[in-house]
Structure 1
Amino acid sequence: MAGLLCSPLHFTNNTPILPHSATTRPNDHIISHPFPFSTEAQVQTRKKRARSRTRALREWQEYEEAVKNKDLAKALRFLKDVPVESENSSIESTRFSGGEMGLFGSDKDWEVLDTCLNADDMRLVGSAYTFLKDRGFLPNFGKFRSIVMEGPREVTPTVLKTSTGLEVSKFSPKKWGVSGSSSVLLIILLAGVSYLVNQGIDIRPNLAAVLGLAMLDAIFLGGSCLAQISSYWPPYKRRILVHEAGHLLVAYLMGCPIRGVILDPIVAMQMGIQGQAGTQFWDEKLQSELAEGRVSGTAFDRYCMVLFAGIAAEALIYGDAEGGENDENLFRSICVLLEPPLSVAQMSNQARWSVLQSYNLLKWHKRAHSAAVKALENECSLSVVIRRIEEAMSSN
């Protein structure tokens, strides 16, 4: 074996072996191009992509214009026509999907909710929520729709107190000047009048004029002017935000599309909303049943829960409710549409059951309610409020 290893090497064909030199290397036959050239197909592809981006930019600008003009039909039609591609897709798209919730996807999609306020067709509003839910943006929309089927139906004042720790009277809206912060204002007003009279200042003509204007405001404007003045008082304004956020959150969790939240009393009056503020929501099943002249228990329960959610929110945060008189009036008005109509005792039980259900739902999602209140306080748009709710619920 050692001899074989030491034997001289033999090469076939007598091919001479040339030593490698500085000018002769094994890989000299490989040609490299420091600047790779593009084929005609690649050039055309880049041009096509550039045109696609330009067209997409123009279309998104049209979408933003539709949002600005509160044109829900146009904005929604555009979103439905835009395909969603995954991030690793080789197909050019005007946007990418942003994961399960879409919170990191296209921010523009959310803005379609800001166009709902001017929409006359509530079915179109419902389509906007359905579209966003199907795209994964609203996973909690309608998540608790079936809650109306759970729990006992008989809710006595004792049961309500045991469940919430509050007397049933704490859930009753207060008349202005009778209790709560309004009573403090009334006492201050009367004290001021008494002081001026004792000082020999006759303010009776001025007082009569003020009372006359207040009466005209109450009769013809629904108290909007007085409400506008009162809304500048921070504690009062805060209660309104808590109340309306309760309506909004429960409606959202129950799957009722929200058209908008009106916090300006003058705007509320112009839109035909009773009261100093209002949350406009829609229940498709309830509307279709009302059109047929009947109302089922499930649709009625869901409507009542949203209706009493404002009162429940105030009771949850403050320990009692001051607002909600118009909510109770709406409740009574729809009770007469039931067949057979509810008795007084049945109406009272339905009200207690509804407020308890809403109270528990808000208590379970107190963080989402706080997020909604803060967003409304910062005068955020509806899309931002809904997004804050989703973010709060996803962090639980």
Structure 2
Amino acid sequence: MRQTSLNIIAISIFILTMSALLGPIFNISPVIPAIATFSVMVLVTVDTLGWQGQGSMIIVDLVEGASSERRERIIRHEAGHFLVAYLLEIPVSGYALSAWEAFRQGQSAQGGVRFDDQKLAAQLQRGMISEQTIDQYCTVWMAGIAAEDLVYGNTEGGAEDRAKITVILTQLKRSTESKLKQSWASLQARSLIENHQSAYQALVTAMTQRASVSECYQTIEENISGDQTE
């Protein structure tokens, strides 16, 4: 069961407990919170078994993304991924800035930039993956964290990005290198974003307007020459 579903169940149990304690004071029938909690748990179970937890992810994502500050941080995070993928010649196949957007696009209910990872998958399948490929993908995965840290001085997202690096290196029996590779890749990504600030800022604007992938590519190309001459 996904962590989001477990969190919703925990909250439901907490509400039921508090209702049982405070119900007599406010003259609330204990049946009402019991029915509400039971209904929530049924919905969570159906969501987990039938939708693989996508419904709860959408709800949590809508709540977390309610503030404009949070939405802007998400866009800047994803723009970091997109720009660095472009610079390292890893094709972007699409992006979604929320779980709901991803769901509407027919993807699993998880926002983010989607990459063409056929090259990585093919090399992993053969058991022969080049260090260059590892470095490229690790840098792209850490680019969202690097962008957040560059703009805000701290990071909130990126746990799943770090996990991808750990998974890849574990498959290669190099799990002890994960933290070092994350730090190295984050520095590489930060440097790329810093050196292409005009393209990055323009990309943030384009993604805010939900520009298509091809339009985002064009935006980067139109602004990247200015970065190179500065």
2:138 is aligned with 1:304: yes
Output the amino acid matched with 2:26. G
Task: Kindly indicate whether residue 198 of structure 2 is the aligned counterpart of residue 367 of structure 1.
Answer: yes
Of the candidates 53, 56, 66, which is equivalent to residue 220 of structure 1? 53
Structure (1 or 2) with the greater helix fraction: 2
1:207–1:383 CA distance, 2 compared to 1 (3 A): same
Q: CA RMSD for the aligned pairs?
A: 3.2
State the match for 1:200 in structure 2: 26
CA deviation digits over 1:290-330, x for unaligned, max 9?
A: 23122221101101001111111111111111111221222
- Which residue of structure 2 lines up, in the alignment, with residue 259 of structure 1? 93
Gaps of 5+ in 1: 1-174, 177-189
Matched, 1:327 2:157: no
Alpha-carbon distance, 1:391 to partner: 1.7
Code of the residue aligned with 1:230 in structure 2: it is: E
Q: Distance in 1 between matches of 2:27 and 2:157?
A: 36
CA distance in 2, matches of 1:359, 1:201: 57
Q: Deviations over 1:197-240 (max 9, x none)?
A: 69938595587469648855676216122213433321111111
**Cα contact 1:312–1:355 (8 A) shared by 2:** yes
> Do the aligned partners of residues 378 and 352 (structure 1) sit closer, same or farther apart at CA in structure 2, a change above 3 Å counting?
same
Match of 1:15 in 2: none
The answer to whether 1:241 aligns with 2:67 is no
Q: Which of 285-294 and 203-212 deviates more?
A: 203-212
Q: What is the CA deviation profile of residues 111-142 of structure 1, one whole-angstrom value per residue up to 9, with x for unaligned ones?
A: xxxxxxxxxxxxxxxxxxxxxxxxxxxxxxxx
Whole-Å Cα distance in 1 between the matches of residues 169 and 97 of structure 2?
A: 27
Does the C-alpha gap of structure 1 residues 362 and 268 become closer, same or farther in structure 2, counting only changes over 3 Å?
A: same
- Of the three residues 325, 342, 351, the one matched with 2:174 is 342
Residue 395 (structure 1) shift = 2.5
* Contact 1:243 1:313 survives alignment (8 Å): yes
Pick closer, same or farther for the CA change 1:206–1:284 going to 2, 3 Å. same
- Aligned partner of 1:395 among 206, 215, 226: 226
SS in 1 for 2:171: coil
- 1:356 and 2:182 are equivalent in the alignment: no
Given candidates 191, 198, 207, the residue that maps to 1:376 is 207
Q: Is the 8 A contact 1:241 1:377 kept in 2?
A: yes
Partner of 1:54: none
The reply to whether residue 282 of structure 1 matches residue 113 of structure 2 is no
Q: Does the 8 Å CA contact 1:372/1:388 hold for their aligned counterparts? A: yes
- For 1:259, what is the secondary structure of its paired residue? strand
TM-score where L is the length of structure 1 = 0.45
Counterparts in 2 of 1:380 and 1:337: CA distance versus 1, 3 Å: same
SS of 2:156's partner is coil
Aligned equivalents of 2:193 and 2:149: distance in 1?
11
Identity within the alignment, %: 31
SS in 1 for 2:174: coil
User: What are the superposed Cα offsets for residues 68-106 of structure 1, whole Å, 9 maximum, x if unpaired?
Assistant: xxxxxxxxxxxxxxxxxxxxxxxxxxxxxxxxxxxxxxx
Structure index of larger Rg: 1
Q: C-alpha deviations, 1:33-66, integer Å up to 9, x for none?
A: xxxxxxxxxxxxxxxxxxxxxxxxxxxxxxxxxx
Q: Is the 8 A contact 2:202 2:223 kept in 1?
A: yes
Provide closer, same or farther for how the CA distance between residues 248 and 238 of structure 1 changes in structure 2, counting only shifts above 3 A.
same
Q: Which amino acid aligns with 2:189?
A: S
- 1:126-205 superposed matches below 5 A: 200=26, 204-205=33-34
Partners of 2:122 and 2:219 in 1: CA distance = 31
Displacement after TM superposition at 1:244 (Å): 0.8
Cα distance in structure 2, aligned partners of 1:294 and 1:308: 23
